[in-house]
Amino acid sequence: MSRGRRVASSRASASRRGRVSVVERWNRWLLRFLGLFLVGVGVVVLLAGFEVFGTSLADRPVLDADAGSFAAEHGWFWPAVGTAAGLMALGSLGWLAAQLRSGRLRGLYVIDDAVGGVRLDAAALTDAVADDLVRNPVVRTARVAMLGRPRHPVLRMSVEAQEDADARAVRSDVERRVLPRARRALGRPDLAAEIEIGVYAGAPARVR
């Protein structure tokens, strides 16, 4: 018998800061630039196709005879194109790696001052918070992850409650009991948090 699906959910954000990471800022500007560039190229191509710039340009092949002969006469042309494509591929891989690194945290600073910092394994905190969440008798399962940056973490909690549970009561328990305990444990009263609550719909009936 398969597991039931979630039929109700609610999200809450507690003391979430408006900090934006370096990766997010780069992503924002890079995507804006690429979007504007591609829109501009698309507009020019459409205008050329509708003969706005004349019939000669509309009927012109993408790679004309002069460009083909230039590539044939210069042996460095295609290697240069291949090198540029390789650099673009490496840049794309680096960008993808940056996205992966900007996700979950492996550790965070509990004490951070001019003298130094104490780094805590994020798994120790997330496991403790998950155990604290399931102490609520109406909570079936809980998943906890630490996101953000070591000095500016965000605690994400996903809770699945029983079918007859009150989602508002579950959320209140998380905000008034679980989250304050996590903040006290870290010594971070301003620890940002995200709460996602789902209600278990029960196992579907089996059709014979």
Query: What's the pLDDT at 117?
Result: 61
Query: What's the pLDDT at 90?
Result: 85
CATH T-level topology, domain 6-17+104-200: GMP Synthetase; Chain A, domain 3 (3.30.300)
Q: What percent of the chain has pLDDT over 90?
A: 18
Would you call 199 helix, strand, or coil by DSSP?
Answer: strand
Residue 146, phi then psi, degrees to nearest 5: -110, 120
- H/E segment holding residue 121: strand 117-121
CA nearest neighbour of 111 among 186, 182, 185, 179: 186
* pLDDT tier for residue 157 given thresholds of 50, 70 and 90: very high
- H/E segment holding residue 107: strand 107-112
Q: Are 108 and 119 in contact (CB under 8 A)?
A: yes
Query: What's the pLDDT at 137?
Result: 93
Q: Could you give the CA distance from residue 132 to residue 179 in angstroms, rounded to a whole number?
A: 10
Q: Could you give the CA distance from residue 87 to residue 121 in angstroms, rounded to a whole number?
A: 36
Q: Are 170 and 10 in contact (CB under 8 A)?
A: no
Bridge partner residues of 156 (DSSP): 145, 194
Q: Could you give the CA distance from residue 110 to residue 185 in angstroms, rounded to a whole number?
A: 9
Q: Could you give the CA distance from residue 18 to residue 148 in angstroms, rounded to a whole number?
A: 12
Is the confidence at residue 11, as pLDDT, over 70? no
Residue limits of CATH 3.30.300.30 in the chain? 6-17+104-200
Is the confidence at residue 196, as pLDDT, over 70? yes
Mean pLDDT of all residues in the chain?
76
Q: What is the pTM of this model?
A: 0.49
Residue 191 half-sphere exposure toward CB, CA atoms < 13 A: 28
**Tens digit of each residue's pLDDT (9 = 90 or more) over 21-39:** 555 667 778 878 888 888 8
* pLDDT tier for residue 103 given thresholds of 50, 70 and 90: low
**What tokens appear for 157 in the block?**
């909690």
* pLDDT tier for residue 15 given thresholds of 50, 70 and 90: very low
Residues 6+ apart with CB under 8 A from 151: 108, 109, 112
Is the confidence at residue 197, as pLDDT, over 80? yes
